[in-house]
Structure 1
Amino acid sequence: MAMWFLWSLLLWGALPIAVIHTQVLSKVGGSVLLMAEHPPGFKVREAIWRSLWPSEELLATFFRGSLETLYHSRFLGRAQLHSNLSLELGPLESGDSGNFSVLMVDTGGRVWTQTLQLKVYDAVPRPMVQVFVAVAGDPQNSSTCRVFLSCQAPNISDITYNWRREGTMDFGVEQHRLFTNGQVLSISLGLGDRDVAYSCIISNPVSWDVATVTPWESCHHEAASGKASYKDVLLVVVPVLLLLLLVGLFSARHCGPCSGKKKKDVCTDGVVAETENPLV
């Protein structure tokens, strides 16, 4: 009779004495406890948990003092009804977000309904910060360096980007220095910023992670690398050009008079004649 009464409430939409709404946040791979709350003095006789959206499914029931969670649903094997009538779900998957409800009836026949909205997020991974040097000069003469810091993270939803200059308590930076929803930060560095580090903090409602770089190292490395490459080119190219020039001059001087078949014969005859008739 009691179970029939519960099903009648579900099918005919009987009006409860109260409805409360709660939002619950969790992350993929974790677990969540959907708390069944009711007013003081409300002695629960029967209770039923349901998934309302994206699909309507029966998850668990409490009837005549017996807890039951053996119903076939997408949470089969991942749902546990506790003695306080709270429902634990886990490990959670990315598609588990949705609306849930628990309907309770007390010993006096009063009805209490609670609706909960579960939002499941992916845990944010470690971001990667890349440094792009916009203007870098000779490290011995230049005192400034303008760079763009790009914070990269996988394409997951609801990510927020924040930048922090290490050594300060301020998480914010001037808005005109941020681009692409905060993913890119533009900064100008001076000689006093050689040891200054910047951190990119990515977060969503359930997790966060951070990556830190020292931009001046990239300025110095790029300028130094360009200078070393220029010297290497000179050390290799100049000797080769000189060698080729000397070979060309030598060839022109010694083979120029003997170029061509006739000139070659004349030169050969002359050499033979000089050999056969040496000077006395």
Structure 2
Amino acid sequence: MDVVSLWSLFFWGALLPRTVTAIHVHGRVGGSALLVAEHPPGFHIREVIWRSLWPSEELLATYFQGSPETLYHSRFLGRTQLHSNLSLELQPLRAGDSGNFSVLLVDSGGRAWSQMLQLQVYDAVPRPVVQVFVAVPGNTQPPQTCQVFLSCRASNTSDITYSWQWEGPTDMGVEPSALFMDGRVLRASLGPRDQGMTFSCIVSNPISWDVTTVTPWESCHRQAAPGGTSYKDMLLVVLPVFLLLALAILLSAWHCGLCSRRKKDTGSDRVAQDTETPLV
């Protein structure tokens, strides 16, 4: 490539105003992202420069005199492809590839066109885990009403949105006050008519989504069954055991420290006795 012409392209890029609103591109870790070089109608591209602007400024690809070049030393080396329409494809994507990019186009008449793009790379969301916590009022068997708290959790919590859907024989409305922790927890009151009602927790980000569905009434029956245990009963059993284990660990650590201190003191006394014994 002609060095003078390449530097002239950089000079054009410095003079052109930056685009205020960047084009947003989303990609998935392990997938690909296509950065499209858009241009006005009647703009016949002659030369192109693709650059990464953030977190570091790097030259990624160029097109000059009909010859594409992508072997520039950058964090994307070996992962770039310049297509025939001069759009740039990055693959496979990594979590650290998010950032800002720019493309400078020059047409056959010498006109220049600059464009900004913002790439955001996401992990695919995992399947959420939904836990059902039940509170049965009174000692009614079976319960006439059952209040449930549905807790939804996804292991990867970055940039994830939580939402709920429910289906059943009755149209149950859930007020906004029944949602807690940014939609992770849902509270609902169920009756005998809601036995077949299902609740689905949907987790999503801009590139993927997943869902888990539960039937809370089944948990209500387990709580009310003879010999069944509620989460409060389990806490009454687990919490004392946990406290006893923690106390045993603390006592063991204290005993080991005491024994170590005694051995140290005994060793010091022996050294003192050997020192004080006169030589014959």
Same fold at TM > 0.5: yes
Please show how residues 53-202 of structure 1 align to structure 2 within 5 Å.
53-135=54-136, 140-167=141-168, 173-202=174-203
3-state SS, counterpart of residue 48 of structure 1: strand
CA contact (8 A) 1:125 1:209 kept: yes
What is the letter of the counterpart of residue 217 of structure 1?
E
Distance change (3 Å), C-alpha of 1:155 and 1:17: closer
- Would you say how many aligned residue pairs link Structure 1 and Structure 2? 228
Structure number with larger C-alpha Rg: 1
* CA distance in 2 between partners of 1:18 and 1:56 (Å): 15
Cα deviation for residue 87 of structure 1 reads 0.3
Distance change (3 Å), C-alpha of 1:167 and 1:72: farther
Match of residue 208 from structure 2: 207
Match of residue 16 from structure 1: 16
Cα deviation for residue 226 of structure 1 reads 2.7
Match of residue 46 from structure 2: 45
Match of residue 6 from structure 2: 6
Cα deviation 1:240-275 (Å, max 9, x = unaligned):
xxxxxxxxxxxxxxxxxxxxxxxxxxxxxxxxxxxx
Return the TM-score normalized by structure 2.
Answer: 0.74
3-state SS, counterpart of residue 225 of structure 2: helix
CA contact (8 A) 1:50 1:100 kept: yes
Distance change (3 Å), C-alpha of 1:6 and 1:16: farther
CA contact (8 A) 1:130 1:151 kept: yes
3-state SS, counterpart of residue 30 of structure 1: coil
Distance change (3 Å), C-alpha of 1:88 and 1:181: same
Distance change (3 Å), C-alpha of 1:62 and 1:134: same
Cα deviation for residue 162 of structure 1 reads 0.7
Cα deviation 1:131-180 (Å, max 9, x = unaligned):
01122565734211111000011143111111111249x99831110111
Cα deviation for residue 66 of structure 1 reads 0.8
Match of residue 234 from structure 2: none
What is the letter of the counterpart of residue 108 of structure 1?
G
CA contact (8 A) 2:174 2:188 kept: no
3-state SS, counterpart of residue 226 of structure 1: coil
Cα deviation 1:31-75 (Å, max 9, x = unaligned):
111111111222222111000011111111101101111111111
Match of residue 238 from structure 1: none
3-state SS, counterpart of residue 202 of structure 2: strand
3-state SS, counterpart of residue 202 of structure 1: strand
3-state SS, counterpart of residue 73 of structure 1: coil
Distance change (3 Å), C-alpha of 1:82 and 1:163: same
Distance change (3 Å), C-alpha of 1:140 and 1:101: same
Cα deviation for residue 6 of structure 1 reads 3.2
* CA distance in 2 between partners of 1:166 and 1:3 (Å): 66
Higher alpha-carbon deviation: 73-82 or 4-13 = 4-13
Match of residue 259 from structure 1: none
Match of residue 245 from structure 2: none
Cα deviation 1:194-228 (Å, max 9, x = unaligned):
11110001111111110000001111112215359
Match of residue 231 from structure 1: none
- The Cα RMSD (Å) is 2.6
Identical-residue share of aligned pairs (%): 67
CA contact (8 A) 2:179 2:186 kept: yes
* CA distance in 2 between partners of 1:155 and 1:172 (Å): 29
CA contact (8 A) 1:49 1:60 kept: yes
CA contact (8 A) 1:2 1:46 kept: no
Cα deviation for residue 21 of structure 1 reads 3.1
What is the letter of the counterpart of residue 87 of structure 1?
L
* CA distance in 2 between partners of 1:201 and 1:162 (Å): 5
